[in-house]
Structure 1
Amino acid sequence: MTALDYEAIRQLLARYSVALDLADRTTFESCFAADAFFAESGLPGEPAERFEGRQAIGEFAARFFQIAAGQIRHWSSPPLIDGDGLDAVGTSFLMVLRTGTAPGTGVILTGIYRDRYTKIDDRWYFAARDFSVDSQTASADPFVDRFDQFVIGRPAQQPFDQRTTSA
């Protein structure tokens, strides 16, 4: 694979997240090959689902847009990619974040994407995208709880340009 192939796949991953978070169904669908599938599993209270073909993937996205209403962001790690220039596989981690400022914001869930990519007419697409939510622990991490309490109890900060300094 060339450096341009790796970059094209990274751009595909970014286009996917931006389209999903900004409710752009046309762009989201265009990330997938015509016969691709998207699968997700491990969402609390939800059965595993698999969507085959662009139309079904687009219907998933439309449902997601209604639920998320622009209030979450997908934040992915840099992907690990391996391929031959026509087909490739990749793995990346995901954090789904609630938008806004503390204490109303935060990590909603984490997980892992396992992808297959295919190059058609010099453009990379998802051939398969499989998302698995990381398992959730029954008890909260004490460090995270202390940090959450710190953020909740912290006094409001003035914008930097409105702060006064003492000499």
Structure 2
Amino acid sequence: MNTIALSQNTLTADDRDQIRQLIALYSAALDSFDIDTFSDCFSEDAVFEPFGPPGGPLPTPRRGRGELADIVHSFRASADAGWSVRHMTYNILVEGAGDEARATCDYLAVRATSTVFPAVTNERPAHIFASGKYFDEFRRLEGDWKFTVRRIRNDPQPHPYDRWTGEALGTRTATARNADLELNANETPPPKR
């Protein structure tokens, strides 16, 4: 969908509200492992396109509701391992005309451990572990707005630094970094400059 001129942006306030609700429902369904609700947020032929880290490999897009349900399964597996995630979206901008729309929004993902008192168990307390931006496309189908495309761009996360110079290692994959540096887990990193 190309950029829509302001004069052609004919979505109603109700359309915009329904799209914002859909964005919130996506997060709520993902965080509660509700596969049916999560899948129903998308059109049958929807595409989820994650962006990889700059310079890194691009993850494989997921196509159709069946593959999209795998996203929920992966978060469920993480919860079974002892931590949960809460996704929060904000700065939602919506534009569109007729039965097509698009939106952008920022997101934060907070990870929490399985314990109420992490200090007692030496677990890390709740913390932001990811942030980024969604780029969404929607279509109104039988009166309801659905995602047709959801692209996610994760913000760059802090990268390890060279153990000798303190220089950031950039965005190479962990495998490449480890092969180059043969990291020693017991070594103290150099102080930052």
Does residue 138 of structure 2 align to residue 117 of structure 1? yes
Does residue 57 of structure 2 align to residue 36 of structure 1? no
User: Which one of 60, 64, 75 corresponds to residue 64 of structure 1?
Assistant: 75
Amino acid at match of 1:41: F
Which residue matches 1:97? 110
Distance in 1 separating the partners of 2:14 and 2:102: 16
C-alpha displacement of 1:117: 0.6
C-alpha displacement of 1:46: 7.6
Which residue matches 1:135? 156
Which residue matches 2:18? 8
Which residue matches 1:154? none
With normalisation by structure 1, the TM-score equals 0.75
The question of whether the paired residues in 2 share the 8 Å contact of 1:42 and 1:135 is answered with no
The question of whether the paired residues in 1 share the 8 Å contact of 2:78 and 2:84 is answered with no
Distance in 1 separating the partners of 2:70 and 2:157: 28
Deviation per CA, 1:31-73, whole angstroms, max 9, x where unpaired? 0000111121236998512100111111232122212446110
SS of alignment partner, residue 138 of structure 1: coil
Length, aligned pairs only: 140
Which residue matches 1:81? 94
Percent identical among aligned pairs is 31
Structure 2 gaps of 5+ residues are 1-10, 119-123, 162-193
Distance in 2 separating the partners of 1:20 and 1:46: 25
Change (3 A) 1:137 1:59: closer
Amino acid at match of 1:108: F
Amino acid at match of 1:116: E
Distance in 2 separating the partners of 1:81 and 1:2: 11
SS of alignment partner, residue 127 of structure 1: strand
With normalisation by structure 2, the TM-score equals 0.66
The question of whether the paired residues in 2 share the 8 Å contact of 1:41 and 1:49 is answered with no
SS of alignment partner, residue 55 of structure 1: helix
